[in-house]
Structure 1
């Protein structure tokens, strides 16, 4: 009954949690801390802090950790399934519709791609303010963006993250941190499994193993949540039509639940002969590494947060993530979405409205979809 209740609570949130990762954290706070009192405010804050230091889907990692705290590993799995299932089913249906109907009218594609330009630009501005407060982090973000623009590949991203980590440990660590309240207690089997699976992804040459390997790599390397997975998947995946790619990403903004179910959509369109199987493999592969890391480190959170080296590495990686988003905006998002100069004007106006008035995200998407239909009819 405990697990059934856990599934029900997360399933309800999965059906109603619009607004992206930041909004999800607010939903979890109200539901599980204030209403259900499954954990204290301090415990919840620790889970959020840990999720920011690990790669993977931040809000989904927090949800998984709540389930882990409440009912062990099985509780974490149940929480993940409940929260992710609604958006996963929606993305599969959208992918099947895209295959059979060519994703609908061309005007809808125009509108969704313009929306992607606006939403990613907004994320870039916000994350620059939050993660690049000084000239060192701004320079790191700029150099990361330039490196990825001129040498776009997975290995470039790996090199950037490695260099950023070393730079952060050297230059960005704080002068002092709070002392750790507990000794180190790592779950080594979970961390070993994460590492072995990551190494195996590089030997997956074709078929479903290659599909799972590509998404596992993405889930292992993406710091910063939903928006950051866009440039990483664009670098790693091959053979995905750019219109379908950006349309699916835009659709992921409009549905409840985690944005990482963008992988569900991509897995389905990459396996048109078995879309449900491809969607399931892609979904499990992109979420699994983040959850293994939560299991590995969740008892070690205080030591992580109190270590100056880790704090410096975290700051540097966050800055590099800003560069990744800037590179993705430069290519492919802007070239695909702004095919005419006045499309750029529309995007600028849309960005201003979004930042000035903060309308509901569903209203923004509906507006861009309608605008796209109108633009398609113009000469």
Structure 2
């Protein structure tokens, strides 16, 4: 580690100016060149202890920085294309209405109540959120061909019915906010645990943007409990980001995370939002309950101190609002912690989630705790086959390989 640190320090002294100059010639922008060079050095700090120091240090840094720059430019080009396409849906330009932020305005514009909720969410994720069709399909747990058809049908309906996609004013916001919150939640989730194996395991640019937009929604609609609940949920989840992936690129389970690495400022802000919503005495919605569950997790100084009975009770409340198999799966995990893996497994086995990697990962862990190693290995294998996130696959592979088996 000392040799690597010295190598990075030496390259920084000797190669920094050359790397920046090379990038500036290629990119035509000195500011971007310096930013990409800094990212390349940060990548070196992460990767060289794992992969070893490359033979040509300057070339490695230049190539890495150049690739990062190309990726960024491609994202910006795609984003501009999506924004233009969204704006073309409007027959005539309208005033800016109640929303000053360009991206949030487009999200509210695309979440038109004339479309069915799944269609408006999928269309907005594609056109404004920047997610690919496969990423959106994985978020909805459907095949990407089916999702592509859903998005196409939504566009066709807009044109055929001549749905007026005007920029919304303040009176329009309440009818659209539920779709907007769903879009932001799915963007955040894709950043929190990227489903594309070609992406970084955690995409901070997506989680940060989702949080920024959620703050704007709360400012626009301060009385909307679900907007505040979603922001609290995002903050409490983002607070754990630094502890979620190990230095060697493996996902770290919640029970094993270094809680000293959690962001206490984000946790305090999230807890304050949860308490403020509870103080209103109004019945909580889905995001508020999910935020409360995360508040219980982040309130425990150690995983062993987690109040699982409260978490099960919160999931019971959530099931009355959102009786989906995913919620039942998460509740089963809490039941297993509270009442033992046998009861948790019985609930999991009853769920119709064979195509969902987290279902098989949960089964694998519970079977492992019950000493059923062969079945656990098979469940891990199925989870690995279905998982797209590289850090999650690494974690599941290690857990499987620790078990004795054929």
Fold conserved (TM > 0.5)? no
TM-score, normalising length from structure 2?
A: 0.24
The structure richer in helix per residue is 1
